[in-house]
Amino acid sequence: MTSDRMVCPVAGFDPFDQAFLRDPHPVLAHARAEVPVFHDQALDAWVVTRYDTIRDIFRDPDRFSATVASEPLRPWCDEAQAIIQGGGVRIPPLLVNNDPPDHQIHRRFLGAPFARPRIRQLGPMVSTVVASQLAPLRAREHFDMVRDVTWEIPVHVLFDFLGVPAEDVATLKRWTASRVRLIWGHPETGEQIALAHSLVEYARYSERFVEHKAHHLGDDYTSDLLRAVGDEQRDPDTVRNEIAVSVFNLLFAGHETTTNMMSNAVRLVLSDRVLWDELRRDPSRAEAIVEEAIRLEPSVTAWRRRTRVDVELDGVAPDRANARDHLSFGFGIHYCLGAQLARMQISELLAQLAVGFPTLALVDDQVLTYVPNTSFPGPEQLLVTQKRASGTAA
């Protein structure tokens, strides 16, 4: 492919721009039709927009390496780099940023506690977390769906799953939000330095947590892995270090994505009163609606690969037959480990909202804002309103 670094050939394509973040669909539809693969100067990356081509890339790790996935989009300033290196933060290749054959070794070990029956057992806990988050809102006429609901549920579910104490939620939320900006955003120098300090604290926390857990095993992901260290034919210290890095990664991957997906799903459902009425009549429709929401308004919209060889893309681009086979959880060897857990939480929230908040509606004329970054779209707030039923208990 030839490189044209001077211009972005797709008008309106700017992943850091609020108008694009709010509604990228017309711009991307135009790109898919007219310039399906283009070079973006600001990202210094090729952007691939067609379903089939992306799917082919996902299943071809020989030509498209995932090792770039956790690298900063923009190089950090010297001071931020020094803070991160001096703080001992390393994000070695494990899962999302790794290729075969090493990826399979880690996926087998770190993915074991995500087995379907184990995740299914979390159903009652998820249901309780959703119910307790919604209960105080029943009597409120207005609330912010993000701050009061979707910001909270996935992090509490994830902490329970990982075995992390609930009192650390607020601190960790702050640290993990800083990781989005540092890796997938475009922070200025001063901000990079502050974010770098957060990243160091967050990595240290993950290490301390795993050390502590080793002496206080429980019924959680981290303990399951620590119990399995002895079964591995690998150096135990290396494996324990790998668990700490996995916790560090999951403390981010396991809730930001789901928070944004919940907000996107609620916005979609409340924007379509026919759909909302359908869900109210039959809350068991939540699972199917969630799948459609994940396809239409995913909370991970861009992911990176680095080419290992010269490639040609979209010389031919056949239409896809099945629109429901979305790529929002990735595809192939990196397919999202948390997909089942995420789906479960979002369906549970939609079903409980449909039952408990029948008059819920989006507040008119609100202008949504998004954290400017290439990959994880979700509104920063989503104001909703409901008519209180007379006699509703506070």
For residues 223 and 262, the answer to whether their CB atoms sit within 8 Å is no
Binding string, residues 157-196; x marks residues near ligand HEM by CB under 6 A: -x--------------------------------------
Beta carbon nearer to ligand HEM, 332 or 358: 332
Q: CA 222, 224, 227, 228: dihedral to nearest 10 degrees?
A: -110
Minimal distance, residue 95 CB to ligand HEM, in Å? 4
In single-letter form, the type of residue at position 318 comes to P
Q: How far is the CB of 8 from ligand HEM (least distance, A)?
A: 23
Residue nearest to ligand HEM (CB): 338
Burial of 33 per CB tally in 10 Å (0-12, 13-18, 19+): exposed
Residue reference for tokens 């030509």: 63
Q: Which of these ranges, 45-53, 324-332, 366-374, 384-392, lies near ligand HEM under the rule CB under 6 A?
A: 324-332
At closest approach, how far in Å is the CB of 340 from ligand HEM? Answer: 9
Site track for ligand HEM across 354-393, x = CB under 6 A:
----------------------------------------
Burial class of residue 26 in the structure, from the number of CB atoms within 10 Å of its CB (0-12 exposed, 13-18 middle, 19+ buried):
exposed
Q: Which of residues 62-101 bind ligand HEM (CB under 6 A)?
A: 66, 69, 95-96
DSSP state of 370: B
Judged by CB under 6 A, the stretch of 118-126, 210-218, 335-343, 360-368 that binds ligand HEM is 335-343
Task: Extract the tokens encoding 140.
Answer: 């409120």
341 counts as binding ligand HEM under rule CB under 6 A: yes
The span from the CA of 229 to the CA of 249, in Å, is 19
The site that binds ligand HEM (CB under 6 A) totals a number of residues, namely 26
Q: How many residues does the chain have?
A: 394
Q: How far is the CB of 12 from ligand HEM (least distance, A)?
A: 23
155 binds ligand HEM (CB under 6 A): no
The residue among 39 and 107 lying less far from ligand HEM, judged by its C-beta, is 107
Residue whose CB is less far from ligand HEM, 260 or 386? 260
> In sequence order, which ranges of the chain are alpha helices (DSSP H)?
18-22, 25-34, 51-58, 78-86, 102-111, 116-120, 123-134, 145, 153-162, 169-184, 189-214, 221-227, 236-253, 256-270, 273-281, 286-296, 339-356
Q: What residues from 234 to 263 belong to the interface with ligand HEM (CB under 6 A)?
A: 250, 253-254, 257-258, 261
Give CA–CA dist 33/36, Å, rounded.
6
Phi-psi region at 387: left, alpha or beta (left = phi > 0; alpha = psi -120 to 50)? beta
Binding site for ligand HEM (CB under 6 A): 58, 66, 69, 95-96, 107, 158, 250, 253-254, 257-258, 261, 298-300, 303, 328-330, 334, 336-338, 341-342
